[in-house]
Amino acid sequence: MTHFAGQILEEAARREGDRPLWCDARAGRWYSARELARWAARIAGGLRTEGVAPGMRVGLCAEASGAYVAAFFGALRAGATVVPFSTRSVPVEIARRADASGVRHLVCDGATQATCREAAALSEASVRPKPLRLDALSGPPLQGEVPPAGDALLLFTSGTVARPRAVRIPHRSLVVHTGHLARHALPLGREDVLLCALPLSHSFGARLVMLLALATGARVVCLPRFDPEESLEAARRHRVTWIPAVPTLLSDLAEAAQAPLPDLRGCLSAGAPLPGAVAETARQRLGAPVRQGYGLTEASFSALDAPPLPPVPASVGRPVHGVEIRIVSPNGEVLRPGQTGEIHIRGPHLCSGYESDGHLEPATDAHGFLHTGDVGRFDESGRLYVVDRLKDVILRGGYTVYPSLVESVLCEHPAVAAAAVVGAPDTRLGEEVVAFVVLRRRAAVSAPDLLAWCGRRIGAHLCPREVHFVDALPVGPSGKVQRRTLRARLGEKVSAAKGP
């Protein structure tokens, strides 16, 4: 059976007709699935006129909007592979990634046009990518089925601990897994309204907001860029029922909330470990349960703590329908519930592999399992708990320190808005535990007080030995904390205090 991701929008157009589904909140403009599908067909025709043939790769660098949705599906309808670029990317980054992925056409909007033009000028490819303005990209509607000649998506990993990798996502992954999420995982319906404050250039926003909403008939209220006050106002005005968010975004929403959102049914956090204190603050201030999901660019939403079961704090839930998850020891032994090891994943949602110099590198082992590099465990009821990233684990004097545990303890302090913990080289212990802390508005606490706070809650071998106060944690386009940036900062002059 041939799978085509473009059918997700086309089936929504047939099913939902002219019913408004997508709202650009800042402009107050609603689009129906039928309108978006017709727009996508015209964009596909425009891309074909510009020389895009099936199997080619089309870059997409635009703010989240109805136009982005139309461009995404228009490129698929033209038979191309979509290569999204974050609107926060600098020209040289876009140029390098476009060259590495063979992008020859770069679709942009008014907000990104200058950046994309500069990126095209910086390209070192034999054929530089051609910037195309989204609002001017139109041609005779491309009708009829265009068999996909390549992957649906080429996504770059977030690069929180290493250089980003190009991940090839096949059409089957999007079609089959979106169907499994819609039918078996998250009970969204036509009465639901999702707030989209996530970038659609990343897996979380693209798959759980854009694709899942179209598959279920849920409406989407979209903002081009995240702003906590504007997001809360839009959520209240449009009676939002679900908020998908990364932990940093969720923390900002909770901090800005003046009153609970009356129509909110739940928040779904993914992309990074969610400190318990942040989840509880969000639950109280936003007025709805906070659930977690788990996935990677290579294996989006593999587990979900979904209704109708009550949310379980710290758990990312059970494997999604069709997904198999194992916990494996360093020597390859499949571990029992309660034992901690690396998370391995197998299922139809997996990527087809990594792009490397035009070749496909496998992402799975001989048995079809993706080795995630994440540490986790199952409980006796089959719920998954993600402990941390293997590469983030700190080895301090023979002890294993999970940064997520220390971060959770720090975030329980009433003065702390956010925290990130990294390892610093130490001649005696191998690595030392260092914390970067963002304080709440108008809050104050000293480094010794925070160190004492940790000392009363976790063992001395787990406690930070340095606390660096910063105005904000560095985050990438997906909202994940950039730990490699924090490690690089350790040599800079910042406000710091040594622990005992």
Phi/psi at 281 (5° precision) = -60, -45
For 222, the 3-state DSSP assignment is: strand
pLDDT, mean of residues 240-244 = 97
Between 147 and 226, residue with greater pLDDT:
226
> What does the DSSP assignment read for 433-454?
EEEEEEEPTT----HHHHHHHH
Q: Which amino acid is at 27?
A: A
Q: How confident is the model at residue 494 (pLDDT cuts 50, 70, 90)?
A: very low
Question: Mind listing the pLDDT tens digit for each residue in 246-263?
Answer: 888 998 999 999 999 999
Q: How confident is the model at residue 390 (pLDDT cuts 50, 70, 90)?
A: confident
Which residue spans of the chain are classified as CATH 3.30.300.30? 394-498
Angle at 55 between CA 49 and CA 60, to 5 degrees: 65
Superfamily of domain covering 7-377: ANL, N-terminal domain (3.40.50.12780)
pLDDT, mean of residues 41-62 = 94
pLDDT, mean of residues 40-49 = 94
pLDDT, mean of residues 423-437 = 88
Contact 105, 137 (CB under 8 A): no
Q: How confident is the model at residue 145 (pLDDT cuts 50, 70, 90)?
A: low
Distances, alpha carbon 154 to alpha carbons 63, 83, 165, 272, 393, in Å: 18, 5, 10, 21, 29
Q: What is the pLDDT of residue 38?
A: 96
Between 442 and 145, residue with greater pLDDT:
442
Q: What is the pLDDT of residue 318?
A: 96
Contact 462, 433 (CB under 8 A): yes
Which residue spans of the chain are classified as CATH 3.40.50.12780? 7-377
Provide the phi-psi class of 353: left if phi over 0, else alpha when psi is between -120 and 50, else beta. left
Candidate CATH numbers 3.20.20.70, 3.40.50.300, 3.30.420.40, 3.30.300.30; the one for domain 394-498: 3.30.300.30
Q: What is the pLDDT of residue 495?
A: 39
Q: How confident is the model at residue 165 (pLDDT cuts 50, 70, 90)?
A: confident
Distances, alpha carbon 4 to alpha carbons 72, 296, 322, in Å: 13, 22, 19
For 194, the 3-state DSSP assignment is: strand
Residue 498 has pLDDT above 50, yes or no: no
Q: How far apart are CA 436 and CA 468, in angstroms?
A: 5
Q: Which amino acid is at 404?
A: S
Question: Mind listing the pLDDT tens digit for each residue in 125-142?
Answer: 877 888 888 888 999 998
Question: Mind listing the pLDDT tens digit for each residue in 311-366?
Answer: 998 999 999 999 999 999 999 999 999 999 999 999 999 999 999 877 899 999 99
